[in-house]
Structure 1
Amino acid sequence: MGTVTTDDGTTIFYKDWGPRDGEPIVFHHGWPLSADDWDNQMLFFLSHGYRVIAHDRRGHGRSTQTSEGHDMDTYAADVAALTDALDLRDAVHIGHSTGGGEVARYVARAKPGRVSKAVLAGAVPPIMVKSESNPGGTPIEVFDGFREGLAANRAQLYIDVPSGPFYGFNRPGAEVSQGLIDNWWRQGMMGAANAHYECIKAFSETDFTEDLKKIDVPVLVMHGSDDQIVPYEDSAPLSAKLLKNATLKTYEGYPHGMLTTHPDVLNPDILEFIRS
């Protein structure tokens, strides 16, 4: 197991598999999960000769359960500490959901030579919450509901989310996997309740518009049309328009957790993008 210590003393856990001289791919997980959510992708890209790295965000998984720093600026700074410690060059950064916001914030600020490409999958940018400037966004009451559910009975919330909208298991005819639901719950309960509570504000209210405008490396924007967590119309197409060099791929009928439910489709698409 690897760890890196940030300037404020936080220990960030990470996995680092594959050849040291292999092209590095860094994976950024969603809320309230951990690096384990990327096991399928890590094994896939490892088998193709890549060096694969995934970390647990502070307050999540096996990283320090801090009382502070649950915001996108700090998340990005933690990633910078990790990439500096491993001296990663020309890395591909792949982020899902909240991790997509983390990727946008980090890549926009990364040191020259650190990043070659990025992938935003079911990602939260440009901004989720509804406002006068973002009329198509999700009402703040939805996120308040997540906070209320977390504070009242986090264990039950972490069953309800993957059982329903996250993987689309609430859709008629869906093939439900109890293993995926249990693994989502396991990952969530490993983390800290305070970090998960505060992260809801970070992923829903952070505006990534200026970050996206600054990014000049190629970016693959992937999103399912039936994403019930990060609605398609207010995310992927808007991000693609703000990016200088974007490729938008829409997956008809796919849910928010499509990387887990449809890796046989998405993994090869990501591989093709990396190789292109």
Structure 2
Amino acid sequence: MATIKTSDGTEIFYKDWGPKTAQPIVFHHGWPLTADDWDTQMMFFLANGFRVIAHDRRGHGRSTQTDTGNEMDTYAADVAALTDHLDLKGAVHIGHSTGGGEVARYVARAKPGRVAKAVLVAAVPPIMVKTASNPGGLPMEVFDGIRTQVATNRAQFFLDLPTGPFYGFNRDGAKVLPGVIQNWWRQGMMGGAKAHYDCVAAFAQTDFTEDLKQIKVPTLVMHGDDDQIVPYQDAGVLSAKLVKGAELKIYKGYPHGMLTTHADVLNPDLLAFIRA
């Protein structure tokens, strides 16, 4: 197991596959998952000649189950520590859901030369919670409910979410994939309850507006219009307007977990953007 130790002693687990001379792609996972959620993409891009890297966010998976630092500034600092350790140059950073927020904050602050392109997939920016300045957001009660479930009934909640809205398996005619549901549960239960609880505020209440405005590299925003977790109109559509020159791709009928359910479509689209 490859790990790095951050300045506060947290161990961050990561995978690093492929030739070190190839262009690196760094994958940032969603809540409450792990680097394993990117296995399909990592195998695809490895086969296409890239170096592929994914880490378990602090408090998640095989990284330290921290009770502190479970917020976006520290998440981005952990990514910076990893990219410095690996001395990555000209990397493409791809983030899904919460990982999209992590990408936005990291890329906005990255050292010159570290980042070549960015991709936000079904990502939480600009901000998820409903506020006076974000009337299209979700009510705070939604996130309070998630916190209650994590604190009191996490194992069942981590079955209910992938069984239902995460992958759109609750839609009429959906092909339910039990292995995908079980793998989601496995990844979630590897992490720490305290870190998962704290991360709800990180993905729901962090305002990424200024981060998005600071991104200067070519950026692709991808979102499904049947995303029941992060509604696309208040997320992907707004993010693409805030990142100068961003490309927006909306996928009709695709769910939040579309990287898993529709990898056959999204992986080639990602490859085309990276190679362009």
Code of the aligned partner of 1:180: V
* 1:208-235 Cα distance to aligned partner (Å, 9 max, x none): 0000000010000000000000001100
CA distance in 2, matches of 1:84, 1:152: 38
Code of the aligned partner of 1:29: H
CA distance in 2, matches of 1:196, 1:159: 15
CA distance in 1, matches of 2:180, 2:163: 9
Aligned residue runs from structure 1 range 1-276, under 5 A: 1-276=1-276
Q: Structure 1 stretches (4+) deviating beyond 4 angstroms? A: none
Identical-pair percentage: 75
CA distance in 1, matches of 2:61, 2:17: 18
Residue 152 of structure 1: CA displacement?
Answer: 1.4
Q: Secondary structure at the match of 1:155?
A: helix
Residue 245 of structure 1: CA displacement?
Answer: 2.2
Query: What is the TM-score with the length of structure 2 in the denominator?
Result: 1.00
Residue 153 of structure 1: CA displacement?
Answer: 0.8
CA distance in 2, matches of 1:210, 1:109: 11
CA distance in 2, matches of 1:151, 1:181: 21
Code of the aligned partner of 1:272: A
Residue 29 of structure 1: CA displacement?
Answer: 0.1
CA distance in 1, matches of 2:42, 2:212: 26
Q: Secondary structure at the match of 1:210?
A: helix
CA distance in 1, matches of 2:208, 2:38: 23
- Please give the root-mean-square deviation of Cα atoms over the aligned residues, in Å: 0.4
CA distance in 1, matches of 2:262, 2:108: 29
Code of the aligned partner of 2:220: L
Code of the aligned partner of 1:152: T
CA distance in 2, matches of 1:67, 1:235: 28
- In the alignment, structure 1 segments of 5+ residues that lack a partner are none
Code of the aligned partner of 1:244: K
* 1:26-84 Cα distance to aligned partner (Å, 9 max, x none): 00000000000000000000000000000000000000111100000000000000000
Code of the aligned partner of 1:154: R
Residue 151 of structure 1: CA displacement?
Answer: 1.2
